[in-house]
Structure 1
Amino acid sequence: MRAPGTPWLRSFHAAAPGAVRLFVFPHAGGNAAFFHPFSARLAPRAEVLVVQYPGRQERFHEPCVEDLHELADAVAAELTEWAEEPYALFGHSMGATLAFEVGSRLHAAGARPRALFVSGRRAPSVPAPGPVRRASDEELIADMKLLGGTDPRMLDSPELLAVILPAVRGDYLATETYRYRGAPPLDCPVTAFIGDEDPRVDAPMARAWATHTTDEFALHTFEGGHFFLVPHIDAVARNVAESISGSISGSISSAPEPLNP
């Protein structure tokens, strides 16, 4: 179901009274439905609200936002009333950068996040490579296949590609033109998750997230590529659930786990 009053948020599962609110930010080309299984694993310990970007699913007819700072401004303005309760943020790939930028804006407005979880993404201060956004459709599809995370049947269907490629290209444009503008470090714990075979981010790039918080930082490495999150969803959800439960008392459990077998 959609969270009341805004097309920007989707809610899939009920939460227990007093649960910490978790805003989830999808990857480039992604949509809210991708995180339905993630929400299921966190309910009812967290109230999971997944951000739905323009240009996909029920917002298909809206133009994509091709500037990450502009998108962060829009999302932060929409989430202000939802950030009155204790909340944390989780983002995968492009969504991790967006979660940080939105968290910075909400914090500046007086709504401090309890925790930030970043998955499959280099720190904002580490520039992203390019220019995939200028690639042909065939090259763009090849890059999507390299990263995984998209049903191969969709990538082999001209009809479905016509639907998803505009959002993918718009998100790639937003990601590759993003430049960190020196937002102050957050004062909440930051936890990073990466795959050990991710072609987009390695451990040093992920460890750079430590410079974006004055609180604790932890890095968890899993076997897999850019979408390690799919096979390791249980472990990631468990870490997030334990961490945000601890955040209620101001104590985040952030000890890194060993590499998954």
Structure 2
Amino acid sequence: MSDLLVDEKLWFRRYRPSPTASARLVCLPHAGGSAPFFLPVASALGPGVDVVAVQYPGRQDRRAEQALTDVAVLAERIGDLLLRQPPLPVTFFGHSLGATVGFETIRWLEAAGHPVTHLFASGRRAPSAHRDEAVHLRDDDGIVAELRRLDGTAASILDDEELVRAALPALRADYTAAETYRCAPEVTISCPVTVLTGDADPQTTSSEARAWERHTSGACEVRTYSGGHFFVTTRANEIMALLRHHFAASESGPPVLDRYP
């Protein structure tokens, strides 16, 4: 098996492969998250969309690998692999850390001359809306306390010491990537951005969500949902409907990522 195929299988998970797909959705998880978080998306969108859920190193079946602590490195790895996929119009959906990784991956692709159709930035403030946070410097109990505060991890998992211990290295790496990331206010991408935010999300204020406008030369829309940081699970039906509408409306010829020669 070629190194490329091995890398693709490690990074990209297709829970419902579709050889007849006319568009691709790249899904990027939150800190501590993993590809199966997006299994409902693959089920909801049907065979017209190639749903690619990204599995970062350091978790689940990639636990033996070193987790990455730099958003730019994650973006380059993902972008490089995407350009080696069969060419399709590409949309990104990233939640929390995944929104930042999506933004930087699109920057990388655009710099390489490959436009992207759209970015759905969920549960994350704009790239330049920096907060001084240091969850990654806390002890293990401090990181678990943050997970409880955000209410995105089942209590049964957080109470399982063995599971938590296994997940902590990847969690710490992800928080390091998110909290050490910096972006200047003038940095932009070209594709339209739809910002999804929860009205009770402690991680993103309404002004921090609106600040995404300065990071795209395309259109920017902010959609607010009831809920906290993980409104994407409690409002899943509405978000799936939004994605279905996006792909139905974009069938008229969005940009396509070309393969490498």
Q: How does 1:116-155 map to 2 (within 5 A)?
A: 116-155=119-158
| Counterpart code for 2:78 | V
CA contact (8 A) 2:185 2:215 kept: no
CA contact (8 A) 2:13 2:54 kept: yes
Aligned residue for 1:24, secondary structure, equals: strand
Aligned residue for 1:12, secondary structure, equals: coil
Q: How does 1:33-52 map to 2 (within 5 A)?
A: 33-52=36-55
CA–CA distance in structure 2, aligned partners of residues 241 and 19 of structure 1: 13
* Counterpart in the other structure of 1:209: 212
Higher mean alpha-carbon deviation, 4-13 vs 40-49, is at 4-13
Instruction: Work out whether 1:96 is the aligned partner of 2:99.
Output: yes
CA–CA distance in structure 2, aligned partners of residues 134 and 232 of structure 1: 32
- Please point out which of 240, 245, 249 is paired with 2:248: 245
CA–CA distance in structure 1, aligned partners of residues 66 and 22 of structure 2: 34
CA–CA distance in structure 2, aligned partners of residues 128 and 170 of structure 1: 18
CA displacement, residues 149-208 of structure 1 (integer Å, 9 cap, x when unaligned): 212111101110111111111100111000115784222211010110000001110111
Compute the TM-score of the two structures, normalised by the length of structure 2.
0.90
Q: How does 1:160-171 map to 2 (within 5 A)?
A: 160-171=163-174
Aligned residue for 1:82, secondary structure, equals: coil
* Structure 2 residues not aligned, in runs of 5+: 255-261
Q: Count the aligned residue pairs.
A: 250
* Counterpart in the other structure of 1:198: 201
CA–CA distance in structure 2, aligned partners of residues 112 and 166 of structure 1: 34
CA contact (8 A) 1:104 1:184 kept: no
CA–CA distance in structure 1, aligned partners of residues 24 and 69 of structure 2: 27
CA displacement, residues 95-141 of structure 1 (integer Å, 9 cap, x when unaligned): 00000100111112122111100100001111133111111211111
CA–CA distance in structure 2, aligned partners of residues 141 and 89 of structure 1: 29
CA–CA distance in structure 1, aligned partners of residues 7 and 111 of structure 2: 25
| Counterpart code for 1:22 | L
CA displacement, residues 180-238 of structure 1 (integer Å, 9 cap, x when unaligned): 15784222211010110000001110111111111111111111000000011111111
Q: Specify whether residues 4 and 55 from structure 1 end up closer, same or farther in structure 2 by C-alpha distance, changes over 3 A only.
A: closer
CA contact (8 A) 1:45 1:245 kept: no
CA–CA distance in structure 1, aligned partners of residues 186 and 170 of structure 2: 27
| Counterpart code for 1:135 | R
CA contact (8 A) 1:3 1:10 kept: no
- Please point out which of 187, 193, 198 is paired with 2:190: 187
Instruction: Work out whether 1:26 is the aligned partner of 2:26.
Output: no
Pairwise CA RMSD: 2.0
Aligned residue for 2:57, secondary structure, equals: coil
* Counterpart in the other structure of 1:12: 15
* Counterpart in the other structure of 2:225: 222
| Counterpart code for 1:87 | V
* Counterpart in the other structure of 1:235: 238
Q: Specify whether residues 55 and 4 from structure 1 end up closer, same or farther in structure 2 by C-alpha distance, changes over 3 A only.
A: closer
Q: Percent identity?
A: 38
Q: Give the deviation of 1:17 after TM superposition.
A: 2.3
* Structure 1 residues not aligned, in runs of 5+: 252-261
CA contact (8 A) 2:100 2:124 kept: yes
Q: Specify whether residues 123 and 3 from structure 1 end up closer, same or farther in structure 2 by C-alpha distance, changes over 3 A only.
A: farther
Aligned residue for 1:84, secondary structure, equals: coil
